[in-house]
Structure 1
Amino acid sequence: MPTHNQIDLIEFPAATAELAATRSFYERAFDWAFTDYGQYVDTADSGTVAGINAVPDELQQKMPLTVIYVDDLDAAKARVTDAGGVILHDTYAFPGGRRFHFTDPAGNELAVWSE
């Protein structure tokens, strides 16, 4: 079970056409085993939960994405904006929960999710 307000996972971006090759790279290079969720695969073999995310271009981040788990997504979104964060992708559903993406004052993109 994820812990409230802690980093829960790291996601690597991949275009839809690159997902299979990217997964294969980590399997071959580091012996990571993945669970397949269609356009998303994840692994705990990396030392932390990590995933490869092949989402539509308008949602695709450019760099690895740090994802923070919270108990209350709406309250976290309000705290992020009150603290000066800028919402990049409004709350959307995915298998297992909901999340939003934001940038911090330095321009780093992160996501916050909840069940």
Structure 2
Amino acid sequence: MLDTHFRTGSPIWIDLGSPDTEAAAAFYGAVFGWRFVSAGPEAGGYGFFQKDGKTVAALGPLTEEGARSAWTTYFRSDDIDDAARQVVADGGSVRVEPMSVGEGRLAQFTDPQGAQFAVLQSAMGLQKASEDDTLVWVELHAADPEAAIRFYHGLFGWRSQEMQAPGMTYRVLSIAYGDQQQGSFGGVAQLQGEQDEARWVPYFAVADADAVVTAVQDNGGTVRMPAADVPDVGRIAWLEDPGEAVFAVLKPNPRQD
């Protein structure tokens, strides 16, 4: 499961680009109890979502022309420039060229099927994960899962393992190091039904998925998929915030040690 011991290919950061950062901060504060802390006047409105004083996500205004509100997942890279070259060579595109930020470097990309993601070269990242109201899983929805896995394997060395889920074959992703199950952090699913675009979807762990669904509705958000039990996984719901950024919540099944 996702943790804060970041290695190459690990999800290391997540942020929300929003057309109304004040409204977004209020929404996620109501839903998850997050507190928004500005990164300062020089940060252009960017800042951090914190839980119990620890950073669990970030928020900033939309900066790309024509951009829509969305969550972006950042994966750790040891060489941002090499990653940019690899993305282009394998059919993806660079949305934000490699640049310095604080004590690290970042770049933002689009994979060959249109899913947006980013990379971060830094010793620092999220301070809490896989706890209630923090990031627990990231999931790629793609028209061609096998092609997607080849692309990201070439970039990060990720491993994948197939498992059967209701009505589909699901691919569990793990980093290239150590025990495959311990290193798992996300998955790849086939685009289904009315899903109209490839995307990375963040899952936040919650104590009560149904209560979060109610909080989302009460605070102007939308339910894309009502809370439902997934065998051997937990209770899941897909949601949208008032700016139409998609995210999901998961009440994991108790661990069987």
* Mean CA deviation greater in 98-107 or 54-63: 54-63
Take 2:47 and 2:67, find their aligned partners in 1: how far apart are those partners? 15
Calculate percent identity across the aligned residue pairs: 27
Structure with greater proportional helix content? 1
- Residue-by-residue CA offset, 1:17-62 (whole Å, 9 max, x unaligned): x1122112211222112332142222353xx932112153449554
Take 2:46 and 2:66, find their aligned partners in 1: how far apart are those partners? 13
Structure with greater contact order relative to length (CA < 8 Å, sep ≥ 6) = 1
Does the CA contact (< 8 Å) of 1:8 and 1:49 recur in 2? no
Give the unaligned 5+ runs of structure 2.
123-257
Q: Which has the larger radius of gyration?
A: 2
- Please point out which of 91, 113, 120 is paired with 1:113: 120
Take 1:73 and 1:59, find their aligned partners in 2: how far apart are those partners? 25
- Map residues 1-115 of structure 1 onto 2, 5 A cutoff: 2-15=6-19, 18-38=20-40, 39-43=45-49, 45=51, 49-58=56-65, 60=67, 62-115=69-122
Secondary structure at the aligned position of 1:64 is classed as: strand
Secondary structure at the aligned position of 1:80 is classed as: helix
- Residue-by-residue CA offset, 1:56-81 (whole Å, 9 max, x unaligned): 34495542211111122112222222
- Residue-by-residue CA offset, 1:77-111 (whole Å, 9 max, x unaligned): 22222222111221223334221111111101111
The number of residue pairs the alignment matches comes to 111
Secondary structure at the aligned position of 2:108 is classed as: strand
Which letter maps to 1:92? M
Does the CA contact (< 8 Å) of 1:54 and 1:60 recur in 2? no
Take 1:76 and 1:59, find their aligned partners in 2: how far apart are those partners? 25
Does the CA contact (< 8 Å) of 2:18 and 2:70 recur in 1? no
- CA 1:59/1:111 → structure 2, altered by over 3 Å: closer, same or farther? farther
Give the unaligned 5+ runs of structure 1.
none
Q: TM-score, normalised by structure 2?
A: 0.38
Take 1:100 and 1:37, find their aligned partners in 2: how far apart are those partners? 19
* Mean CA deviation greater in 56-65 or 33-42: 56-65
Q: TM-score, normalised by structure 1?
A: 0.77
Take 1:49 and 1:108, find their aligned partners in 2: how far apart are those partners? 22
Alpha-carbon RMSD across the aligned residues, in angstroms, is 2.5
Take 1:102 and 1:59, find their aligned partners in 2: how far apart are those partners? 16
Does the CA contact (< 8 Å) of 1:12 and 1:51 recur in 2? yes
- CA 1:60/1:91 → structure 2, altered by over 3 Å: closer, same or farther? farther
